[in-house]
Chains A and B, each alone.
Chain A
Amino acid sequence: MQLVSEFLRNVSFCQDLNEAARSKLAELLISKKISAGAVIFREFDDSDCLYIVKSGRIIISKHVQDQVDIVLTRFHTGDFFGEMGLFDTSPRSATAQTETDSVLLRLDRKAFQQVFSDEPEIAARICYRLVTVFIERLRATNDQAREAIRWGLEATGFSPEPQRSPFGRRST
């Protein structure tokens, strides 16, 4: 447990927590080994927990068509994902899959809600950090949307230059 608590130092949403708080949080986490290529959760699955990457690499993707997904992002050691599941009961918005053998730490919504009621100060610190991460991810999503549009424009030859005056005849 001490090792997990030490590890949490490097997890962004735990950075404002003192050692005691980290230890309390570490007690709530469930460790899970997953082999490469395994699906952690699929898009539209029920969502009720957050995962912290203890080791390995996770790929987050969203279904596009048939067997093809678009890769949204990758998570490495110290990153976390699935945080929407802590606050929201809506289905998962993307699929998470291991790219290499990985170890994950799982934090259930119920356990997190317990922290809220028992340790509001710890909960507030975690939430503050989470909001910062949400903002960063929102910015990254905007950049990704821009990049996807640029891709579409370039791939279809759509020119951003103002169009030349169209052909026509105005008799005067």
Chain B
Amino acid sequence: MADPAKLELLNRSGDAGGFEIVQIDSLHAYSAYKPRRLPESDWEVTPQPKSADGTRQFVLRNLRQDSYVLLNAGEYFLWNYFDGRHSLEEIGRAFYVAFGAFDYLLIRQLLGKLYGCGLLESKRLLDFQLNRGAMRDSRWTTRLRWNWMKWCALSLRVPHADRVCSLIYQRGGFLLFHPFTFLLSAAAAVCALALALRFGQNASSFAYFLKARPWLISGVMLATLISASILHVLVHALACKAHGRRVRELGFFLLQGVVPTFYADVTDIFMSSRRARVTVDLAGPMVEVVLGSIAIVAAQAVSAGLGQALLFGVGLALWESALLNLYPFNFLEMDGYNILADLTAMPMLRQQALALIPHLPERLLNFKSLARAEWLQLAYLALCLTSVVIYVIVHIDALRALIHFS
């Protein structure tokens, strides 16, 4: 690491021309630095429910640029001291008294997070200098990481998403969240389930019709699933509006940099209750459940043949899509995972679990020292791995069956 940068100052002692030269290195200045957060009118903070290990996290929102940052209890403590009146040295001492230990790295990491979200008063000029500097780094790992971040950030967005969602919500979207709509949907699902069980007896004849027109069936299925997916994210967004929160984005992106999918950015729901978050999470898959139910009920109404088989197939595909979406253990941040993260009050569960992998042998050897939160992370990892293995095995069998059949 380079030596700390130094500034040489000339301190005048009076009119007689006397002066002294003082050299200040950046580390000395760092401990005397008094970070100043934005004025209180420019941010809001919402405490989250207590997690398994009894700690509480906080979501901090920058109202100026609509960005969010998740703080743990220690970081929240530090944030409260970033009022421009306390130096880092004083803050560190206060932290030590409150928590019994302190490392300047904590402050450095938090400052990085807060600068990144624009929550500290800073010179904008520096952002440009730094970004250019980071790009000049020739290490291939840095470049790879940078490119991966850029790739993951690729997205197509609907302009003015919040305004669009507000309009849709006001012009009838609110009806989706009426208790009567819920009862109607539940009734449709129950009817459809009963019908599906009855249709199960005709599975071979449905398969016959479906195999006869594979291109037509594939096209209809694809179009239905894409349309349902768009409606799915729109209903997530409307549910967010139903709780009076903002929809930041609506669009199309690569989930975890891999799975192309539509999305609604509903981060603002973290400023609301846990119940509100779970409602928003559940609202999306309800679209597939209801549409699937309608398709199966409609299948009953048409005469036996290709139409009936197609409607039944579409209904089942939509239900399966809802189930997949609600399944939390697949390493993807889909609705089921979000519900799990909300219920365990661990909004970064997946990231924390993945970060645990390199330390797994060491942590398992000292398993008695594992905190409850770490047990949850381990359980999540184990269930995800098991699910992926089962998924692969099931699909290998299906592939073999298909090859054998052809």
Q: Which residues of B contact A68 (CB under 8 A)?
A: 9-12
Within the assembled complex, what's the spacing in Å between the Cα atoms of A70 and B88?
24
Say whether, besides A68-B10, A163-B112, A155 and B68 are in contact (CB < 8 Å). no
Apart from A154-B27, A160-B134: 20 A-B pairs, beta carbons within 8 A: A37-B16, A37-B19, A39-B17, A67-B12, A69-B10, A71-B10, A71-B21, A97-B10, A151-B7, A154-B5, A154-B29, A155-B26, A156-B30, A156-B35, A159-B112, A163-B113, A164-B112, A171-B265, A171-B266, A171-B338
Interface residues of A (CB under 8 A from B): 37-39, 59, 61, 64, 67-71, 97, 147-172
Measured CB to CB, the residues of B under 8 A from A are 4-13, 16-19, 21, 26-27, 29-30, 33, 35, 59, 67-70, 88, 107-108, 111-113, 115-117, 122-123, 126, 129-130, 133-134, 145-146, 149, 152, 232-233, 236-237, 248-249, 253, 255, 261-267, 269-270, 280-281, 284, 325, 333-335, 338, 347-348
List B contacts of A154 (CB < 8 A). 4-5, 26-27, 29-30
Q: How far is the CB of B312 from chain A (nearest CB, A)?
A: 26
The closest CB in chain A to the CB of B110 belongs to: A157
Contact B59 A167 (CB under 8 A): yes
Q: Are A155 and B33 neighbours in the complex by a CB distance under 8 Å?
A: yes
The answer to whether B111 touches A156, judged by C-beta atoms less than 8 angstroms apart, is yes
> How many A-B residue pairs lie within 8 Å, measured between CB atoms?
155
Complexed CA–CA distance, A61 and B18 (Å): 14
Query: Which residue in A156, A165, A169 is a CB contact (below 8 Å) of B33?
Result: A156
Given known contacts A71-B9, A158-B126, A165 and B149 CB-to-CB distance under 8 angstroms: yes
CB distance from A149 to the nearest CB of B (A): 6
Main secondary structure of the interface of A (DSSP, over half): mixed
- Chain A's nearest CB lies how many Å from the CB of B21? 6
A168 to B8, CA, bound (A): 43
Contact flag A171-B264 (CB < 8 Å), given A153-B126, A161-B112? yes
Query: Which B residue sits closest to A71, measured CB to CB?
Result: B8
CB pair B10 A70 closer than 8 Å: yes
- Set of chain A residues within 8 Å of B126, measured between Cβ atoms: 149, 152-153, 158
A69 and B108 contact, Cβ closer than 8 Å, known pairs A37-B18, A155-B26, A162-B146: no
Assess the A170–B146 pair: CB atoms within 8 A: no
Which residues in B have their C-beta under 8 angstroms from that of A155? Answer: 26, 29-30, 33
* Beta-carbon contact of B335 and A172 below 8 Å: yes
* Contact of B263 (CB < 8 Å), options: A39, A147, A152, A172: A172
B111 contact from A37, A159, A169, A171, Cβ within 8 A: A159
